[in-house]
């Protein structure tokens, strides 16, 4: 039973996916279609009857006779606080549009909590990647994509503890000195713009990145015989970024360095 609607869910389904089947949307940040959620952002919390704390709907699986409330005042207050905590610590002005919409939906104010911000200088060590951890919400998506959920390169992990936790290479070595193979699968899953292709980063900092003028065309990568699907983001007849559809069963949103950056030969 979700919000008073009887739901016949498959065994093993998460609360969030069961809710989706009856048209109830639950906000998330650390969830992505092609990854198992780290269960870290706590934006997707819901009330489950008989459980004192709120429950992360992205990870908790449904049980028989479960009674779930997804949008009570308590749930909404908690979600608002999660958003306000994030806004108190990191820059969210490059975040994906869904996150911005959640702030409106939950009437979250970015100045509700004030305190120390996460301050980190931009890390640009090569011609492909820009990393700005002052925008990082530690959703773990990049770590999981680099790690055992997709790429298995393990160039980055969470280091440190608590508020000092950061996504980091070993001993914070420069990216070209790490295990990184520049597949950019971390960039692809970053929801806040903490990780961007350098092309996008430069345009954003120069204020020439105009999402509204961009058209996305689907095509297939020109290199090896795997046939990864590409989404070419084109602004003013120039490719400005390449991604891969996370729902295409060949690549599931992932690419290699050639697929994600090799297009630059056209420039």
Partner 1 sequence: MFGVGGGTSSFAEIEDADLILLWGSNARDAHPIFFHHLLKGIKNGARMWAIDPRRTSSAKFADTWLGLEVGSDIALANALAREIIHNGHADEEFIANATSGYAEFAASVEDWTPERASDATKLPTAEIRALALAIGQSKKVQICWTLGITEHHTGVDNVHALINLALLTGNVGRWGSGLVPLRGQNNVQGGGDMGAIPLRLPGFTDVSDAVQRERCEREWGASLPDQRGWHMSEMFDAMHERALRALWVIGENPADSEADADHARAALSGLDILVVQDLYLTRTAQLADVVFPAAAAWAESDGTVTNSERRVQRVRRAVAPPGEAHDDLEIIFDVAKICGHDWGSPDAEVVWDELRRVSPSHAGMTYARLSDLGGLQWPCLDESDPGAPFLHGRLWQQPLVGARAPFAAVEWRPPLDTLDDDYPFRLTTGRVIDSYNTGVQTERYPSPIRTGDTLDICRADASSIGVTSGDRVAVASRRGAIEMTIRIVEGLPRGLVFSTMHFPGAADVNRLISDAWDPKSGTAEFKATAVRIDRCASEIVAQ
Partner 2 sequence: MPNVHFGNGQPTTREQEIVEQFLLEPERATHALSERVLVGGPRRATGIRHLLLPGLWALQDSVGWVSPGGLKALCDSLGVPLAEAYGVATFYELLQSEPPPEVLIRQCDDITCMLFSSGNLGVEGSRVGSSCLGQCDSSAAAVVQRPGHGTAIVTESVGASTPVVAAPAGARLLRRIFNGGATTIADYRSVGGYTALEVAIEIGSSGVLGAIQQSGLRGRGGAAFPTGAKWLAVADSLSSTKYVIANADESEPGTFKDRVLMEQDPFALIEALTIAGLTVGADCGWIYIRGEYTLSYARIKSAISEAHSTGFLGADVAGSGRPFDIEVRRGGGAYVCGEETALLQSIEGYRGEPRSKPPYPTSDGLFGQPTLINNVETLVNVLEILHQGPAEWRSVGSAESPGTRLFCLSGHVARPGVYEHPMGTTLGRVLSDAGGVAAGSELQMILLGGAAGGFVSPEQLHVELSFEGARSAGLSLGSGAIVVFDASVDLPKVVARVAKFFANESCGKCVPCRIGTQRQMEIVAGRSGGLRVLDDLDQVMTDSSICGLGQAASSLVRSARNLGVI
Contact between 13 and partner 2 by CB under 8 A: the answer reads: no
Least separation in angstroms between CB 188 and partner 1:
12
Q: What does DSSP assign to residue 5? A: B
Choice from 81, 202, 234, 246 touching partner 1 (CB under 8 A) = 234
Say how far apart CA 246 and CA 75 lie, in whole Å.
29
- List C-alpha distances in Å: 129 to 113, 184, 194, 233: 32, 8, 10, 17
Could you tell me the two tokens for 214?
């961009």
Binds 157: which of partner 2, partner 1, none (CB < 5-8 Å by kind): partner 2
Choice from 10, 112, 213, 218 touching partner 2 (CB under 8 A) = 112
Partner residues linked to 131 by β-bridges? 123, 195
Say how far apart CA 190 and CA 200 lie, in whole Å.
13
Least separation in angstroms between CB 219 and partner 1:
5
Q: How many residues does the chain have?
A: 267
Choice from 41, 103, 221, 243 touching partner 1 (CB under 8 A) = 221
Binds 41: which of partner 1, partner 2, none (CB < 5-8 Å by kind): partner 2
b (16+ CB within 10 A) / e for 128-160: bbbbbbebbbbbbbbbbbbbebbbebebbeeee
Give 168 or 199: the residue with its C-beta nearer to partner 2. 168
Contact between 81 and partner 2 by CB under 8 A: the answer reads: yes
Give contact residues for partner 2 (rule: CB under 8 A): 38-43, 45, 53-54, 56, 59-61, 74, 77-78, 81-82, 84-86, 88-89, 112-116, 137-138, 140, 147, 152-165, 168-171, 173, 177-179, 181
């Amino acid at each position: 039973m979700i919000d008073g609607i009887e739901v016949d869910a498959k065994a093993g389904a998460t609360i969030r996916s069961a809710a989706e089947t009856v048209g109830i949307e639950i906000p998330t940040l650390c969830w992505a279609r092609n990854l198992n959620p780290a269960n870290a952002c706590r934006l997707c919390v819901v009330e489950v009857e008989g459980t004192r704390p709120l429950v992360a709907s992205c990870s908790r699986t449904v049980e028989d006779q479960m009674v779930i409330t997804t949008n009570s005042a308590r749930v909404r207050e908690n979600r608002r606080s999660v958003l306000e905590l994030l806004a108190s610590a990191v820059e969210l002005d490059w975040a994906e549009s869904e996150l911005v919409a959640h702030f409106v939906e939950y009437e979250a104010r970015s100045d509700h909590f004030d305190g120390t911000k996460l301050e980190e200088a931009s890390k640009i060590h090569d011609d492909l990647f820009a990393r700005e951890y002052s925008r990082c919400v530690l959703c773990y998506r990049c770590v999981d994509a680099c790690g055992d959920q997709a790429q298995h390169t393990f160039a980055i992990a969470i280091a440190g503890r608590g508020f000092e936790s950061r996504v980091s290479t070993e001993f914070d070595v420069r990216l070209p000195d790490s295990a990184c193979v520049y597949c950019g699968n971390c960039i692809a899953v970053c929801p806040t713009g903490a990780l961007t292709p350098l092309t996008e980063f430069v345009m954003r900092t120069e204020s020439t990145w105009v999402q509204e003028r961009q058209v996305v065309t689907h095509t297939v990568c020109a290199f090896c015989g795997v046939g990864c699907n590409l989404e070419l983001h084109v602004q003013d007849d120039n490719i400005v970024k390449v991604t891969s559809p996370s729902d295409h069963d060949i690549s599931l949103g992932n690419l290699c360095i050639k697929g994600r950056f090799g297009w630059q030969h056209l420039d």
